[in-house]
Structure 1
């Protein structure tokens, strides 16, 4: 995993300037996937910038989901594994993962905010511009960490954001050319093989990646990077598989029914004749017993 080396990354940083100065366009509205980014550039308002940053996180989560279950979508095509069958985009896999990180996995704002701002600062120090990384063209030239600090100065920072920043930092370490291209984040532009290299570096965790994160954190939080990487590496693919292969997107809590038939059930051949209400053998007591002796 030599590609996760700060010095090597700094040497590669000149590629970013070459891509931008060569006039490589950032397709911010490909298939409408970056509409929020376009609005942020046009309006420059806090809410529009927030929408763009949130869209950046969601785009990254969608790119993660197609690693587990590809489909006919543009994220699967970009990683080189399209399928005709419906995939995680159709079942809301990206939204599930974002909601999982933001609302169900505990990590206090006192850690998630420094992690996000620290990663943003590290990216900025390495010469990564706000545009095209976040797709935001700020008139006053604010850095990535400054943009994030501005957006979340009076809001709780969602955990999905530092996770998305981590994945995209890894994407740039593996393939600096992913700074530009289709879709809404560098991680989304990687091949499946390169995505696996990013996950390998996180699950390791690779010492160089730890140093990049720790070096950007304030002193009281130094040493938190390895724990964060172990946490992220342990939940990324497992949580994704749970989300995209479950029926959570089709479960109606009011009627306690699953409708329509979930896509993963068809992909796996689960319950080909539909739901069952149980087996007759389990109605009442087993073998008509009415009691169990104490010494049984």
Structure 2
């Protein structure tokens, strides 16, 4: 909801919403979680301790920094403190994570920088209507509507045939 606000409860709660679907659509969170889990494990406590799968580690960091940005964030309508922040405080959390010198030589710096891009990619992709078993879309993906994509095509009437009425070419 932070990267691609929509008409969902998370977007409305953060104070930035639209009248159409956004990043909080079926498949988007699962796609992001799968990507982060496959890409890395984040060790807690500065490189020592139990490594968490990537998505869980990112969630812990977002929620710890969210509690710093707003100590009351744990008391909102959602389970995650980050989800309970308003838009400006979510931006502040990303700024802190991006500039915190403790993360300078750790992969988390890359992950924090990549997270908005990965979230936008998932929101604008076909995951909201993709059946991984059948390996095909089962409806119109939300990302297509967000980007005004007309969908796949076998050609357009205006480009069928030859240029300027030429109907044959001689070698």
Query: Does the alignment reach a TM-score above 0.5?
Result: yes
Q: Which has the higher helix share?
A: 1
Partner of residue 122, structure 2 = 243
Is the 8 Å Cα contact of residues 70 and 83 (structure 1) preserved in structure 2?
yes
TM (normalized to structure 2)?
A: 0.78
1:72 aligns to 2:19 (yes or no): no
What is the root-mean-square deviation in Å for CA atoms of aligned residues? 3.0
Shift of 1:75: 1.0
Shift of 1:96: 1.5
Is the 8 Å Cα contact of residues 25 and 128 (structure 2) preserved in structure 1?
no
Is the 8 Å Cα contact of residues 202 and 232 (structure 1) preserved in structure 2?
no
Q: Deviations over 1:239-296 (max 9, x none)?
A: 001000111332346766433111221222111xx32125767xxxxx9799xxxxxx
Q: CA, structure 1 residues 173+254, in 2 after alignment: closer, same or farther (shift >3 Å)?
A: closer
Larger Rg: 1
Count of residue pairs brought into register by the alignment: 161
1:93 aligns to 2:28 (yes or no): yes
Structure with more contact order per residue of length (Cα contacts < 8 Å, sep ≥ 6):
1
Q: Deviations over 1:163-219 (max 9, x none)?
A: 11111111112111213221011101100000001111112x223xx2xxxxxxxxx
Write the mapping of 1:195-234 to structure 2, written as runs, cut at 5 A.
195-203=90-98, 205-207=99-101, 210=102, 225-226=103-104, 227-234=106-113
Counterpart of 1:260 (choices 112, 116, 139) is 139
Q: Which has the higher strand share?
A: 2
Partner of residue 270, structure 1 = 149
Give 5+ residue unaligned stretches, structure 1: 1-65, 120-144, 150-155, 211-224, 282-286, 291-296
Q: Secondary structure at the match of 1:236?
A: helix
Q: Deviations over 1:80-122 (max 9, x none)?
A: 123221222223222221111112x1x3x5xx2x32xx28xxx
